């Protein structure tokens, strides 16, 4: 009788890479729905565009590299990159922006570094940063929340905006973003930093309608929704607690200290935690396993450093939000962090 020989273990947990990626995508659904609700369904159009682009780019590179195309595509990592990029950009950004972003993220940041697992940088964030520095106008043209908008836009308007820059009724993005007084509305983070730089105090700036109660209409709920998704990921053990907890704790600490010493110019804790990309960053972006630190102690350092950098750039830097920059900066430090935070192996030192 011919027996089959193989190496142990023969049992597997049936946890699969595709399953992990799917779970992350699933956990992002509440956040995406919140974005749709407050900022229109443009994000869904961007999402479809991104998924098509990453699939094509990934498949093309895999073909050129002589890899198994379908087998590798199935791991779902490219789709997750597309998803994260799509939810990070303003919903009515012209179509070519996301195409360029996907191209750079997949071809340069991911595949040229050796494909999944080989990339030093988070592909979605590297793609985002490329777009932000190359097309600053498009990349910061966030719509105000629907309830503040003068002209309401439907799905067809959004399609038309993305592909032809004008809504069906002929409005440009600038017009759509303007309030009744003809002044363009920016995101809460952007508004606040502009106002503070113009000499207003935080309290004076925050009376603007875009802020709502605390962290901005819509943004508060989008962040809460991503927080919920993040908790699901923790509960499902898809991510470890170290990075999000360290990042949020460091950001909170910095924000609190800043608020205590300089409450005139700095918003408080709630604003930092619930505005911008804080929760998306903490649970979905900084936790990208490939580019994050791999030791538990290292993850605490990595997460905390991202929190600090986000605070520093938001408060003193040139950009309103900073999750992407913070993540990329810390990506570079990962090999070093990993080297110095190796856990103590059983039987080495300590107790004897």
Partner 1 sequence: MDSLLARISRGQLWPSPGGVHPPVNKSQSNSLPIHILPLPPRLVLPVKQHIGAQGHLLVNVHEQVLKGQALTKPHANWSVPVHAPTSGRIIDITPMPSAHPSALPELSIIIEPDGEDRWCELVPHPNYRELTAERLVDILHFAGISGMGGAGFPTYIKASTKQQIDVLIINGAECEPYISADDVLMQAHSEEIVRGIEVLRHLLQPKLTLIAIEDDKPKAIAAMEQASANIDDMQVRAIPTKYPSGGEKQLIQILTSKEVPAGGIPADIGVLVQNVGTMYAVQQAVELGKPLIERVVTVTGDTLAEQRNVWALLGTEVKHLLAQQGFTPEPMQRVIMGGPMMGFTLPTVRIPVVKTTNCILAPSAAEMPMPGEERACIRCSACADACPASLLPQQLQWFAKTKEYKKLEEHQLFDCIECGACAYVCPSEIPLVQYYRVAKAEIREQQIEQIKSDRAKERFEARKERLEREQEERRNRHKRPRRSTEQDSQSKEKVAEALARVKRKQADKGDDKTRLPPPLPVRKRKRRANNLSRITVT
Interaction site with partner 1 (CB under 8 A): 1, 3-13, 15-17, 19-20, 71-72, 75, 77, 115-118, 240, 289-290, 292, 294-296, 338, 342-348, 350-352
CA 236 to chain centre: 20
Nearer to partner 1, 197 or 235 (CB): 235
Nearer to partner 1, 198 or 348 (CB): 348
CB of 239 to partner 1, least distance (A): 9
Phi, psi of 6 (to 5 degrees): -155, 175
For 101-112, give the DSSP string.
HHHIIIIIIIGG
CA 84 to chain centre: 6
Buried/exposed code over 101-116 (b: 16+ C-beta within 10 A; e: otherwise): bbbbbbbbbbbebebb
Q: Please classify residue 234 by burial: count the beta carbons closer than 10 Å to its beta carbon, then call 0-12 exposed, 13-18 middle and 19+ buried.
A: middle
Between the CA atoms of 112, 114, 119 and 123, what dihedral angle is there, to the nearest 10 degrees? 50
CB of 79 to partner 1, least distance (A): 14
Determine the Cα–Cα distance for residues 219 and 211; give it in Å rounded to an integer. Answer: 9
CB of 12 to partner 1, least distance (A): 6
**Dihedral sign for Cα atoms in the order 255, 260, 261, 265:** positive
CB of 58 to partner 1, least distance (A): 13
Nearer to partner 1, 106 or 192 (CB): 106
Nearer to partner 1, 37 or 108 (CB): 108
CB of 25 to partner 1, least distance (A): 15
* DSSP 8-state symbol, 115: S
Nearer to partner 1, 55 or 256 (CB): 55
Nearer to partner 1, 321 or 338 (CB): 338
CB of 74 to partner 1, least distance (A): 9
């Amino acid at each position: 009788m011919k027996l089959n020989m193989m190496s142990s273990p023969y049992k597997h947990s049936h946890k699969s890479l595709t399953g992990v990626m799917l779970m992350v995508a699933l956990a992002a659904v509440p956040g995406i729905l919140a974005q749709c609700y407050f900022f229109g369904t443009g994000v869904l159009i961007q999402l479809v565009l991104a998924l098509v682009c990453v699939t094509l780019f990934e498949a093309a590179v895999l073909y050129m590299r002589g890899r198994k195309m379908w087998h590798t595509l199935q791991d779902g990592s490219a789709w997750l990159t597309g998803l994260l990029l799509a939810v990070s950009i303003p919903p009515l950004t012209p179509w070519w922006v996301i195409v360029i972003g996907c191209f750079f993220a997949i071809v340069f940041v991911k595949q040229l570094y050796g494909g999944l697992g080989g990339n030093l940088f988070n592909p979605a964030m590297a793609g985002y940063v490329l777009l932000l520095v190359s097309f600053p106008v498009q990349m910061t043209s966030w719509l105000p929340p629907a309830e503040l908008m003068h002209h309401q836009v439907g799905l067809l308007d959004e399609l038309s905006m993305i592909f032809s820059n004008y809504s069906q009724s002929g409005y440009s993005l600038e017009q759509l973003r303007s309030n009744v007084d003809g002044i363009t509305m920016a995101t809460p983070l952007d508004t606040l930093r502009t106002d503070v730089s113009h000499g207003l105090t935080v309290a004076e700036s925050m009376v603007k309608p875009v802020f709502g109660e605390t962290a901005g209409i819509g943004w508060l709920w989008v962040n809460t929704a991503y927080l919920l998704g993040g908790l699901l990921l923790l509960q499902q053990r898809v991510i470890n607690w170290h990075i999000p907890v360290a990042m949020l704790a460091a950001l909170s600490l910095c924000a609190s200290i800043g608020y205590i010493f300089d409450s005139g110019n700095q918003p408080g804790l709630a604003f930092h935690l619930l505005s911008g990309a804080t929760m998306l960053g903490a649970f979905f972006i900084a936790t990208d396993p490939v580019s994050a630190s791999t030791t538990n102690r290292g993850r605490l350092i990595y997460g905390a450093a991202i929190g600090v950098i986000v605070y520093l750039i938001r408060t003193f830097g040139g950009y309103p939000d900073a999750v992407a920059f913070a993540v990329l900066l810390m990506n570079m430090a990962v090999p070093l962090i990993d080297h110095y935070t190796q856990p103590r192996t059983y039987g080495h030192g300590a107790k004897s």
